[in-house]
Amino acid sequence: MLLEATAVVMEFGSFRAVNGASLTVTEGDIVGLIGPNGAGKSTFFNCVAGDLTPTSGTIRFKGHDVTRATPEQHARLGMARSFQVPVTFEDMSVAENVMVGAFLRHGHRNAARRVADEILAFCGLDTLANARAGSLGTPGRKRLEIARALATEPQLLLLDEALAGLTPAEVRLAIDLVRKIQQRGITIVIVEHIMEVILSLTEHAVVFHQGKVIAEGPPRQVVDDPGVIAAYLGGSMKRVRTQIS
């Protein structure tokens, strides 16, 4: 098991944003994490990646207990994540932003640049390498967010709505990119509201609601689960389909 998150709880004051959620991920998988707004998906990612220390529960990655490890320790062990709101150094070039990720494993500037160049080409950002990051539009920013994470050479990549805000054509290109990432041998957990993405990329979907996992299984099966439909808006299948597609 690559990742084992068990009974994770994250409290903000008296509010439990994550309320006993568990997730296991096997090497090579792409797991989809879905659920309505405010279900606790990003907070759960923050716990898994070390950006938040859970109130209780355990996170094990590659057999190590990382429940209280720092984000950098997670990254060194091989876990990377994209943020729902991209963290871009606006005044630096696209290539320099990717080098920030590459410096995790390569102290020397030239080596970091070589890694960054390979990742930029892989992500289809090579022609934008010298552009100012702040000049990128949404598709470029989303790709840059993924590229920066890939430059840390992860085994597990957590993508938090890395495809949100893209046009349908851009979504299809981004789906191809995620597939290529998996073919590189990287295991992926993807949070995404666009159902086409979940259906075409994942064989296992996990549904969050009010900080808990309320269903999991093949994505086509979980979207028909009555509990999932109820969570997504008072039992109307049509509205569920609209909201998650």
Which positions touch ligand ATP (CB under 6 A)? 12, 17, 35, 37-43, 84
Of positions 19, 42, 97, 202, contacts Mg ion by CB under 5 A: 42
Which residues sit opposite 56 in a β-bridge?
9
The Cα–Cα gap between 221 and 6 comes to: 24
- Please choose which of Mg ion, ligand ATP, none residue 12 contacts, taking the beta carbon within 5 to 8 angstroms, the exact cut-off set by kind: ligand ATP
User: Minimum distance between the CB of residue 186 and ligand ATP, rounded to whole angstroms?
Assistant: 22
Closer to Mg ion by CB, 151 or 190: give it. Answer: 190
- Please choose which of ligand ATP, Mg ion, none residue 39 contacts, taking the beta carbon within 5 to 8 angstroms, the exact cut-off set by kind: ligand ATP
Q: Which of 130, 111, 114 is nearest to 122 (CA)?
A: 114
Strand order of the sheet with strand 30-34? 79-81, 156-160, 187-191, 30-34, 204-209, 212-217
User: Minimum distance between the CB of residue 200 and ligand ATP, rounded to whole angstroms?
Assistant: 20
Return the half-sphere exposure (C-beta side, CA atoms, 13 A cut-off) of residue 98.
35
Cα-to-chain-centroid distance, residue 121: 21
Closer to ligand ATP by CB, 123 or 228: give it. Answer: 228
Would you count residue 43 as binding Mg ion (CB under 5 A)? no
Q: Which of 206, 100, 109 is nearest to 144 (CA)?
A: 100
Q: List the helix and strand counts (H, then E) for the chain.
A: 10, 10
Closer to Mg ion by CB, 95 or 231: give it. Answer: 231
The Cα–Cα gap between 245 and 240 comes to: 8
User: Minimum distance between the CB of residue 184 and Mg ion, rounded to whole angstroms?
Assistant: 25
- Please choose which of Mg ion, ligand ATP, none residue 183 contacts, taking the beta carbon within 5 to 8 angstroms, the exact cut-off set by kind: none
Q: Per-residue contact track with Mg ion, 68 to 87, x per CB under 5 A?
A: ----------------x---
Closer to ligand ATP by CB, 111 or 164: give it. Answer: 164
Using CB under 5 A as the criterion, which residues of the chain lie in contact with Mg ion when the complex forms?
41-42, 84
